[in-house]
């Protein structure tokens, strides 16, 4: 029995857009206010309706340009759960381009020994590029959920990988808020 991983990932990405019913908690779940040092951060998300209102295919081209430049090696910044879908679309577009490139090279070049070496080197370069791209996207998403990039090592540890999946797909974005905007009924 084989499971198509793309269907599973797209399904989890779509599920991650639905907002949580939790409003105030102390455990890092979405839609909460947490005290960090002397500051406060709010972790919330607008929901699936907001994502659909803001969805545009024009947001894909800048992501593709960044992934084709040296900006690919910039690990600073963050991406929200909604933007994670755009990055996944760009990844699928990159794979489609590779398949078209390999097919066209395979049909154009004559059957010689150098064709196999050339095709295998293109595939190797593409796999390294995809690995760096995936690593960057996961690190940026972890930064957005107010988590350390070192949580990626938890992907290889059983049971911890479920928590890392939660951090990447389900935990909301954070932003600093003014301490005077917090009402007195929220515990600090």
Segment 149-183, tens digit of pLDDT: 898 998 888 888 888 888 888 877 776 666 665 55
Domain that holds residue 157: 5-174
Flag whether 183 is in a domain.
no
Question: What pLDDT does 25 receive?
Answer: 43
Flag whether 74 is in a domain.
yes
Flag whether 27 is in a domain.
yes
Number of domains making up the chain: 1
pTM score of the predicted model? 0.66
Which range, 10-14, 20-24, 144-148, has the best average confidence (pLDDT)?
Answer: 144-148
Asked whether the predicted pLDDT for residue 13 surpasses 60, the reply is yes
Flag whether 98 is in a domain.
yes
Q: Which of 4-8, 75-79, 83-87, 120-124 has the lowest mean pLDDT?
A: 4-8
Of the pLDDT bands very low, low, confident and very high (cuts 50, 70, 90), residue 74 is confident
Flag whether 184 is in a domain.
no
Flag whether 162 is in a domain.
yes
Task: Provide the percentage of residues in the chain whose pLDDT is more than 70.
Answer: 63
What are the tokens at 121? 């080197």
Flag whether 186 is in a domain.
no
**Cα torsion 65, 66, 70, 73: sign:** negative
Flag whether 179 is in a domain.
no
Rounded distance between C-alpha atoms, residue 48 and residue 79, angstroms: 16
Helix residue ranges, H only, the chain: 5-15, 48-54, 60-67, 81-108, 113-144, 160-169
**Higher pLDDT residue, 172 or 20?**
172
């Amino acid at each position: 029995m084989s499971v198509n991983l793309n269907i599973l990932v797209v399904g989890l990405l779509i599920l991650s857009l639905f907002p949580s019913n939790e409003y105030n908690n102390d455990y890092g779940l979405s839609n909460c206010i947490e005290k960090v040092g002397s500051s406060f951060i709010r972790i919330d998300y607008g929901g699936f309706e907001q994502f659909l209102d803001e969805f545009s295919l024009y947001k894909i081209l800048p992501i593709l340009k960044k992934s084709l430049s040296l900006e690919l090696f910039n690990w600073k910044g963050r991406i929200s759960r909604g933007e994670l879908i755009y990055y996944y679309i760009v990844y699928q577009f990159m794979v489609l381009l590779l398949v078209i490139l390999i097919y066209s090279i395979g049909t154009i070049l004559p059957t010689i020994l150098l064709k196999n070496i050339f095709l295998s080197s293109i595939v190797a370069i593409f796999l390294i590029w995809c690995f760096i791209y995936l690593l960057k996207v996961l690190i940026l998403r972890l930064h957005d959920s107010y988590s350390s990039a070192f949580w990626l090592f938890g992907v290889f540890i059983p049971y911890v990988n479920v928590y890392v999946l939660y951090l990447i797909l389900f935990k909301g974005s954070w932003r600093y808020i003014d301490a005077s905007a917090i009402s007195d009924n929220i515990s600090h």
